[in-house]
Chain A
Amino acid sequence: MLGRILRWGAFLGLVGFGLFWVTTSPKTVSIEDLAGLTSDAEDGELAFFAAGCASCHAAKGAEGASKLVLSGGQEFPSPFGTFIAPNISPDPVHGIGDWTQSQFASAVLKGTSPEGAHYFPAFPYSSYNKMSRQDVVNLFAYMQTLPPDATPNETHQVAFPFNIRRNLGGWKFLFLSEDWVADASTPELERGRYLVEALGHCAECHTPRNALGGLDKGNWMGGAPDPSGKGRVPAITSSQLGWNAADISEYLKSGFTPEFDTAGGHMVSVIENTARLSDEDRMAIAAYLLALP
């Protein structure tokens, strides 16, 4: 009898481990997935600014042209530890200069490194996974034109158990989805949704998270504690923001609120990016936000 229980126990344990192993295994994008796409570095520049890559991957305090040197090093405190942005300049040793297009796509769309490890979701692949394949290859082509930098990567300051990368497969299983959150009934709303939910990854800061760090989609863009632990990131739904489309578009262009206060903190970096979008794109973002209840 006891032997039977033990055998069953071992069997179920193996099944459980097998399920864990399968559900937590890193996913990748293959060369075939990108077949037929021709990259355009110029279009990639727009994706680069819309996706805000430099806001996190430029060196701390970088301004102007030095924001295009993606040497990493900025620190991002969170309840799970402090993440340090890596070097994603085209340096072949310390950056991503020796990556293939499909390795880049796996990183951006699946959150999987070339070595086959999970990235921490501080890298917002839970938004970027909705990026079009075309934008991914364009972005890769553009980023290869940026200046290389040989700054070595720093190790994230993340404690047990969050430092076990395999477990991030479980996080992805629970929280990663390629579905859109909001409906979009017009081309403008679709464009706005793409800019907000995919490239702009606005929800990463403006939507609250559950205890495991998954986004609370029932409270979409409802505002959240600032990850630094001080203050709050404001709600940006139409009812809570109380701005019209022109107000939102102006803010994303000049940084001025309707009361002529200006953006502060990390949002200033965001506006340095959205200022480079077209008026149509800024109005599309406004339309999307105004359509949120």
Chain B
Amino acid sequence: MRRSLIAVTAFALATGTVALAGGHGGNPAVKARNAHMSLYAFNLGILGDMAKGTTEYNADVASAAASDLATLAAFNQSNYWPEGTAEGEVEGSRAKAEIWTDGGGAIEKAKDLAVAAASLADVAGNGLEALQGGIGPAGAACGACHKAYRGAKQ
């Protein structure tokens, strides 16, 4: 009896942990952040594959992706980043504590991305070279924020 109780408890703990790690529990703000990042990556992927020559350039497709990217980058994300959701504080978060402590540096970086993404949206439909020229600053804006504010993978 006792043994089966232990087994059941262990099973419940194990599945609970797995569920949490899989994001079914998880902090909703962190899930929203990660989902938003996935949308960035999806649209950047369409543009990046064209820029690299992996896929053929298509002005309409490029314009749509860059326009969506610019829309995403312009989101007001203030509700995405509640205090207490830094790395180590909640499951799945790689957000460094500095986001909340360094006086708005992360917001500045987010604005930089919005500017770069808007510029990219302006030119993405103007041919492959214009796309290649515009995607660099957008990537640099991603990297600048990740450099300062994203922790290592768990």
**Which A residues lie at the B interface, using CB under 8 A?**
61, 226, 228, 230-234, 246, 250, 254-256, 259-266, 268-269, 271
In the complex, A7 Cα to B62 Cα: how many Å?
A: 85
Q: Which one of A230, A260, A268 contacts B48 once the chains associate, using CB atoms below 8 Å? A: A260
CB pair A232–B146 under 8 Å, yes or no, is no
Partner pick for A255 among B52, B143, B152, B154, CB 8 A cutoff = B143
Inside 8 A of B42's CB, which chain A residues have their CB? 260
The answer to whether B142 touches A255, judged by C-beta atoms less than 8 angstroms apart, is yes
Q: Which residues on B are within 8 Å of A, measured CB to CB?
A: 37, 40-42, 44-45, 48, 52, 87-88, 94, 136, 139-140, 142-144, 146-148, 150-154
A230 touches B147 (CB 8 A): no
Verify B45–A232 contact, CB threshold 8 A: no
For residue A246, which residue of chain B has the nearest CB? B52
Contact A268 B152 (CB under 8 A): no
The reply to whether A233 and B139 form a contact with Cβ atoms under 8 Å apart is no
Contact A231 B44 (CB under 8 A): no
Determine the chain A residues whose CB is within 8 A of the CB of B41 once the complex forms: 259-261
Which residues of B sit under 8 angstroms from A61, Cβ to Cβ? 148
A265 to B148, CA, bound (A): 6
Whether the pair A232, B139 counts as a contact (CB closer than 8 A) is no
A262–B139 Cα distance when bound, in Å, is: 7
Interface CB pairs A-B, < 8 A, 8: A228-B152, A230-B151, A255-B139, A255-B143, A260-B48, A264-B147, A265-B150, A269-B147
Nearest residue, chain A, Cβ from B52: A250
Q: How far is the CB of A95 from chain B (nearest CB, A)?
A: 25
Per a CB cutoff under 8 Å, which of A254, A256, A265 touches B152?
A: A265
When A262-B139, A268-B147 are in contact, do A231 and B45 touch as well, CB less than 8 Å?
Answer: no
Of the residues B52, B150, B154, contact of A232 by C-beta under 8 Å: B154
